[in-house]
Structure 1
Amino acid sequence: MQRVLRQEKKYILNTEQRMRMEARLEKMLRPDPHNEGVGYMVRSLYFDTMTSRDFYDKLAGVELRRKMRMRIYHPEDEYAMLEIKQKQGQNQLKRSMRITRKEAMQMERGDYTPLRAYDNEFAAEYYSILTMNQYRPAAIVEYHRKAYILPENAIRITFDTGLTASEGRMSIFEAQPGLYPVIQPWKAFLEIKYNHFLLSYVKELLNMCDDSEMAVSKYCLSRRQSLHRSESI
């Protein structure tokens, strides 16, 4: 089980802002090895209650809230990362563990029994939350990510583009899961994650973001887009 506690800042950028910031970052930070020059795909399946409690807790700004998700980086992956992300004051706590492709496919069908075979507290907690609160697969969210890293204070800066989602077939390993666009293609998400404090020259970069800092997550944006689509039908 992996455990990461850090602070986060999120912004929405237009194309010009993203290109200017990327040009600066390429000179100041190291590219993430997973980029392989062009970046990589991130696809997550989010679990939520029958009443979408986690979705509405986020919109309402509830102080103690969480997100339950399963994440892959390619449809042919032989494993998935099971994650719980929790808001704790100014920090975000993310805990995760790896499960097999077969186990992930069972969970996307609403069968959470594979977690009972793991002898660790995280798997037991995950299973309890899903079953006791009647969680079910709620949405698939996908985007393209390019990341930069700095060892000092574990700083990690990512640019996410091409946000798409689906609330139809919950098949995370499917090559073409029928995703629809969530925001305009020229917009990008900038996320800055760090421990303790940001270095001064990284703070200066944030001045290029103007007043675009956001609080709504990609999951919430995707769910809201789905609600608008259903209302228009």
Structure 2
Amino acid sequence: MTSVFREEKKYLLDLKHYYHVRHNIQKIMMRDKHSINNPYDGKKGEGYTIRSLYFDSLDDRDFHEKEDGIELRRKLRLRTYMHDTNYCLLELKKKQGNYQQKTSYKLTKAEGERLISGDYSLLLEKQSSFLLECYEMMMTHVYRPKSIVTYERDAYIAKENQIRVTFDQKIRGSEGTMSLFDKTLIETPLIEDAYVVLEVKYNGFLLQYIKDLLIPLEESQLSVSKYSMSRQISKHYKL
């Protein structure tokens, strides 16, 4: 199990600004371990595919907390990396404004499929306080799988302060089929391919040389979440 506390900023970039920012980031940061070790489709060192399945209550309390601008909110998901679907991560994100805590617990593919099918008893089998918290939340508020989001990520890290800079594109999703591990899953685009979501995540403070790169992007800051996008597929985000 891992738990991280961090601040997060999001920006929406068109392709021109994306290439410019990425070029500068590549000069001062290194790619993360998933990019370096990714053998999927021969794209080693060129990013990787992430897929998340989101759970929510029967009355969609997590979705409405985000849409209503509630200060304290949460998201619960299963995440897998499509170049290695033998495992997944159960992740709970608790957020207050720009600050968040993310706790992750590694599960096998079979255990992930048990959760998707509604068998939450495995959360009691691990003797983990985090999994017990998830179990109580999922049972009390009747959580069920609600949507899937998939995207291509190119990620960079700065060792000095655990800073992560990620570029997410080709964001697509599904509300119909909860086949998290299916590489042939049919999904609907959530934003136009001409846009890229930049996320900057850091703990404590942002290094000045990275902060300087973000100053011209302030007008592009984004508050919408990928989960919110996936719950409004029929509307499709026109940006």
**TM-score in same-fold range (> 0.5):** yes
Task: Pick from 206, 226, 235 the counterpart of residue 218 of structure 1.
Answer: 226
Instruction: State whether structure 2 residue 192 is matched by structure 1 residue 184.
Output: yes
1: distance between equivalents of 2:78 and 2:221? 26
Q: What secondary structure is seen at the aligned counterpart in 1 of 2:77?
A: strand
Instruction: State whether structure 2 residue 162 is matched by structure 1 residue 175.
Output: no
Number of aligned positions between the proteins: 228
1: distance between equivalents of 2:84 and 2:212? 40
Q: Do the aligned residues in 2 keep the contact of 1:29 with 1:148 (CA within 8 Å)? A: yes
Q: Quote how far apart the aligned CAs of 1:134 are.
A: 0.5
Instruction: State whether structure 2 residue 18 is matched by structure 1 residue 18.
Output: yes
Q: Quote how far apart the aligned CAs of 1:210 are.
A: 4.5
2: distance between equivalents of 1:78 and 1:210? 39
Indicate the residue corresponding to 2:172 in structure 1. 164
Task: Pick from 185, 189, 200 the counterpart of residue 208 of structure 2.
Answer: 200
Indicate the residue corresponding to 1:60 in structure 2. 68
The residue identity in structure 2 corresponding to 1:7 is E
2: distance between equivalents of 1:89 and 1:222? 21
Q: Do the aligned residues in 2 keep the contact of 1:67 with 1:84 (CA within 8 Å)? A: yes
Q: Quote how far apart the aligned CAs of 1:76 are.
A: 4.9
Q: What secondary structure is seen at the aligned counterpart in 2 of 1:152?
A: coil
Q: Quote how far apart the aligned CAs of 1:157 are.
A: 0.2
Provide runs of 4+ in structure 1 moved above 2 Å: none
2: distance between equivalents of 1:138 and 1:28? 39
Q: Percent identity?
A: 43
TM-score (norm 2): 0.92
Q: What secondary structure is seen at the aligned counterpart in 2 of 1:82?
A: strand
2: distance between equivalents of 1:50 and 1:191? 30
2: distance between equivalents of 1:134 and 1:174? 25
Which stretch shows the higher mean deviation, 204-213 or 96-105?
Answer: 204-213
Q: How does 1:73-112 map to 2 (within 5 A)?
A: 73-74=81-82, 76-112=84-120
Q: Quote how far apart the aligned CAs of 1:207 are.
A: 2.4
Q: What secondary structure is seen at the aligned counterpart in 1 of 2:232?
A: helix
Question: Unmatched 5+ residue regions in structure 2?
Answer: 36-43
The residue identity in structure 1 corresponding to 2:7 is Q
Q: What secondary structure is seen at the aligned counterpart in 2 of 1:153?
A: coil
RMSD between aligned alpha carbons?
Answer: 1.3
Q: What secondary structure is seen at the aligned counterpart in 1 of 2:178?
A: coil
TM-score (norm 1): 0.94
Q: Do the aligned residues in 1 keep the contact of 2:48 with 2:83 (CA within 8 Å)? A: no
1: distance between equivalents of 2:30 and 2:150? 24
Task: Pick from 146, 149, 170 the counterpart of residue 141 of structure 1.
Answer: 149
Indicate the residue corresponding to 2:28 in structure 1. 28
